């Protein structure tokens, strides 16, 4: 046996012993949830009596798992050191969402939590794959382990998500033909995981083991100062200090790197480096307890099994007592049924209009007619016991009527919500443990992204609202700038739990509609935002139309988004000219109020107002016609306003001189020279 195979076998034997109790109860819980709820010994004693199974446990599990589906955990990435930045953190967060989207990670998270709530533990894992069949580019993927009983982790790990585990084993079975096709030069020997036994020869299938273990290297961490004054930190195992370096600090350290192997019963079939400091197998635990030095994992229904058994028993007894109980027999004197046996034998099976009997005497006295021996089964007591069993189910799972949809004594929405919140709180540890597991998944992804996505490539990023975009990483752009360099800086990962983006949008629409009822003015100033948040066809188009009806000062957005840069420059200069003329107009207006200027002042003010109107018209028209319009208006003033107009035109020309000398119409034609036909 290969040394690695022997090591994996010994580790697996230890893990099986540590998980024996948990695996046994995992199987019991899963069978119970599936409806196998009557113990074999009880069924032997029960005989042919009705044995009903009214399985109420799945609804309690679904209450926990479906609550999580409505409040999806979201991985958030934030910068840690001075080598990291917010923009790259946002990119990494978008890449993580892209990996989750491509992996259907929601399904993996749901499976992990479902196993934790149903059996006590489940597992998530991170793996690599090629992007497609025609590239060498690798990508990261998230998945769930379909059978938690095939996964074994280092039992000495003490972390909340076994982040300190040194090894993990995943067993899987392949058809013998598949094995021989992939590993032609090896023997089809199954991996048993039992050091005391011999490898098992293959039948129709072959059991293999994926063994991932930590390979630790002891080295020194060195901080050195180079001749140019810069300080660098490096590992002595990867780089030796040169003579021109000044050693500032030096300490021993251990580098942890994982290796991944595929094993059969006696040799290593594949071996690769897992380029991360984290084991790529992440457990999702239910309730974790330490009992007499043994770690036990409990499901949400572990303590409800007896209550469910009692519920089944009383339901069966109630059914038997009411529907299947025998009819009360008739009691009569010997000989009274003689000659009428057929009628009396059918009396409990079919209705008859009358029954005859033969009068007889006993001890010389005439015997009374046959009578029923009446029996009243204790239906009330049985029903009450069944109700107590139903209450025990709620108490042992921590989920009560309000959370299950049943009407309770509460009458207000606030009271009902408070009762529902009690059920959520009593089982919040399941969702919280899933959040811890997803946090560890996020750390693995952020740790491996710079290694897997180490070349110039385009990656998919997904936003909070589900929008998909692409971004180039590890590239030098044309202007000498670098695109996102994924290998620099350290980043931290956390998980936020709450309603999904679609759910938040629906909740915000409901809240906005309630606000409009209390304050109708909201609909007038933000009707476009309310409609934009709604999920129905043409909502965006209607929101755009509503936005055009709202005053610009309320919207707070400029309407010049589609104007070219040259036109924007002309408009800015025109605004400056308007400001200058407005100041002159205000000064003239002040003089008019003090009556220091008579008719001449009013004519000057009128001329200035005309100039302001000209420039206002200039800004409201298309930028490419602004210069021609200005020239035409100035000419009109010069010809039609007399002496004052002739004096006003040069002032406007002087105010707009920078714009008139340097700007080119946005249509790119260039300056238009006056001609005899077109003097303007």
Q: What is the pLDDT of residues 277-310, one digit of tens each?
A: 899 999 999 999 999 989 999 999 999 999 999 9
pLDDT digit string, tens, across residues 326-342: 666 777 777 777 777 78
- Residue 258's pLDDT is 92
Query: Does residue 293 share a domain with residue 261?
Result: no
- Residue 70's pLDDT is 82
Query: Does residue 174 share a domain with residue 59?
Result: no
Judge whether 111 lies within some domain.
yes
- Residue 212's pLDDT is 96
Query: Does residue 450 share a domain with residue 347?
Result: yes
Judge whether 427 lies within some domain.
yes
Query: Does residue 587 share a domain with residue 473?
Result: no
pLDDT above 70: residue 401: no
Please state, in angstroms and rounded to a whole number, the distance separating the CA atoms of residues 300 and 32: 13
pLDDT digit string, tens, across residues 483-534: 677 877 888 898 887 665 565 666 677 777 777 888 788 777 787 887 777 7
pLDDT above 60: residue 394: yes
Query: Does residue 337 share a domain with residue 300?
Result: yes
> Are residues 286 and 300 in contact, defined by beta-carbon separation less than 8 angstroms?
yes
For the record, the structure tokens of 300 come out as: 């949400």
Query: Does residue 312 share a domain with residue 181?
Result: no
Query: Does residue 407 share a domain with residue 339?
Result: yes
- Residue 269's pLDDT is 94
Please state, in angstroms and rounded to a whole number, the distance separating the CA atoms of residues 95 and 142: 13
Phi-psi label, residue 122: left if phi above 0, alpha if psi -120 to 50, beta otherwise: beta
pLDDT above 70: residue 422: no
Query: Does residue 608 share a domain with residue 654?
Result: yes
Please state, in angstroms and rounded to a whole number, the distance separating the CA atoms of residues 436 and 537: 39
Q: Reduced to 3 states, what is the DSSP secondary structure of residue 229?
A: coil
Please state, in angstroms and rounded to a whole number, the distance separating the CA atoms of residues 227 and 149: 58
pLDDT digit string, tens, across residues 235-269: 887 888 888 888 889 999 988 889 999 999 889 99
Please state, in angstroms and rounded to a whole number, the distance separating the CA atoms of residues 236 and 219: 6
Q: Reduced to 3 states, what is the DSSP secondary structure of residue 369?
A: coil
Supply the mean pLDDT for the chain.
80
User: What's the alpha-carbon Rg for the chain, to the nearest Å?
Assistant: 42
The mean-pLDDT minimum among 13-17, 37-41, 53-57, 171-175 falls in 37-41
> Are residues 299 and 33 in contact, defined by beta-carbon separation less than 8 angstroms?
no
> Are residues 606 and 599 in contact, defined by beta-carbon separation less than 8 angstroms?
no
Query: Does residue 288 share a domain with residue 255?
Result: no
Judge whether 383 lies within some domain.
no
Task: For residue 536, give the DSSP letter.
Answer: S
Judge whether 680 lies within some domain.
no
Query: Does residue 312 share a domain with residue 288?
Result: yes
Judge whether 375 lies within some domain.
no
Judge whether 379 lies within some domain.
no
> Are residues 301 and 61 in contact, defined by beta-carbon separation less than 8 angstroms?
yes
Query: Does residue 630 share a domain with residue 484?
Result: no
pLDDT above 90: residue 445: yes
Please spell the DSSP secondary structure of 112-140, one letter per residue.
HHHHHHHHSEEEEEEEEEESSTT---EEE
- Note down the domain range covering 214: 167-278
Judge whether 435 lies within some domain.
yes
Judge whether 378 lies within some domain.
no
Total domain count for the chain? 4
Query: Does residue 229 share a domain with residue 151?
Result: no
pLDDT digit string, tens, across residues 215-232: 888 888 989 988 888 888
pLDDT above 50: residue 51: yes
């Amino acid at each position: 046996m290969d040394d690695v195979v022997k090591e994996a076998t010994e580790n697996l034997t230890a893990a099986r012993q540590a998980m024996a109790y948990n695996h046994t109860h995992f199987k019991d819980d899963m069978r119970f949830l599936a409806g196998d709820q009557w113990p074999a010994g009880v069924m032997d004693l029960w005989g042919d009596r009705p044995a009903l199974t009214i399985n109420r446990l799945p609804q309690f599990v679904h209450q926990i798992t479906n609550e999580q589906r409505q409040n999806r955990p979201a991985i958030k990435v934030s910068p840690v050191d001075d080598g990291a930045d917010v923009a790259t953190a946002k990119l990494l967060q978008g890449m993580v969402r892209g990996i989750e989207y491509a992996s259907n990670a929601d399904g993996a998270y749901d499976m992990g939590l479902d196993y934790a709530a149903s059996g006590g533990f489940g597992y998530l894992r991170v793996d690599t794959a090629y992007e497609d069949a025609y590239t060498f580019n690798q990508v990261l993927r998230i998945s769930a382990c379909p059978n938690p009983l095939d996964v074994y982790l280092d039992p000495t790990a003490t972390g909340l998500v076994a982040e300190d585990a040194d090894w993990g084993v995943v067993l899987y079975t392949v058809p013998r033909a598949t094995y021989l096709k992939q590993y032609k030069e090896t023997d089809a020997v199954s991996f048993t995981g039992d050091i005391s036994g011999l490898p098992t020869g293959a039948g129709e299938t072959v059991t293999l083991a994926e063994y991932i273990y930590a390979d630790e290297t002891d080295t020194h961490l060195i901080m050195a100062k180079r001749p140019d004054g810069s300080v660098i930190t490096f590992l002595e195992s990867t780089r030796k200090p040169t003579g021109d370096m000044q050693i500032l600090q030096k300490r021993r350290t251990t580098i942890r790197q994982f290796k991944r192997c595929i094993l059969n019963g006696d040799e290593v079939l594949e071996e690769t480096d897992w380029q991360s400091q984290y084991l790529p197998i992440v457990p999702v635990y239910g309730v974790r307890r330490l009992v007499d030095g043994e770690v036990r994992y409990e499901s949400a229904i572990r303590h409800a099994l007896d209550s469910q058994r009692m519920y089944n028993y009383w339901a069966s007894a109630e059914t038997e007592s009411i529907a299947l109980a025998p009819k009360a027999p008739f009691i009569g004197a010997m000989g009274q049924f003689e000659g009428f046996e057929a009628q009396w034998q059918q009396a409990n099976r079919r209705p008859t209009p009358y029954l005859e009997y033969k009068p007889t005497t006993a001890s010389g006295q005439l015997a009374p007619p046959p009578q029923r021996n009446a029996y009243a089964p204790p239906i009330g007591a049985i029903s009450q016991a069944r109700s107590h069993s139903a209450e025990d189910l709620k108490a042992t799972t921590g989920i009560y009527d309000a959370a299950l949809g049943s009407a309770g004594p509460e009458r207000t929405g606030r009271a009902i919500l408070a009762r529902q919140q009690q059920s959520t709180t009593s089982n919040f540890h399941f969702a919280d443990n899933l959040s811890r597991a997803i946090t560890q998944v996020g750390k693995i992804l952020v740790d491996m992204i710079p290694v897997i996505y180490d070349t110039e490539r385009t990656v998919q990023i997904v936003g909070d609202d589900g929008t998909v975009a692409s971004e180039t990483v590890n590239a030098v752009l044309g202007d000498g700038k670098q695109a996102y360099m994924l290998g620099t800086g350290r980043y931290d990962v956390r998980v936020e739990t709450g309603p999904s983006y679609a759910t938040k949008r629906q909740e915000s629409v409901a809240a906005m509609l309630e606000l409009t009822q209390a304050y109708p003015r909201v609909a007038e100033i933000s009707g476009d935002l309310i409609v934009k948040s709604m999920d129905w066809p043409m909502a965006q188009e209607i929101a755009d139309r509503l936005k055009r009806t709202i005053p610009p000062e309320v919207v707070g957005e400029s309407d010049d988004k589609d104007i070219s840069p040259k036109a924007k420059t002309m408009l800015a200069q025109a605004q400056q000219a308007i400001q200058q003329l407005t100041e002159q107009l205000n000064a003239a207006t002040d003089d008019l109020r003090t009556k220091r200027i008579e008719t001449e002042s009013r004519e000057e003010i009128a001329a200035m107002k005309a100039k302001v109107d000209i420039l206002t018209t200039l800004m409201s028209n298309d930028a490419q016609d602004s210069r021609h319009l200005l020239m035409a208006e100035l000419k009109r003033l010069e010809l039609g306003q007399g002496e004052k107009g002739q004096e006003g035109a040069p002032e406007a020309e002087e105010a707009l001189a920078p714009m008139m000398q340097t700007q080119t119409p946005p249509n790119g034609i260039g300056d238009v020279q006056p001609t005899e036909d077109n003097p303007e």
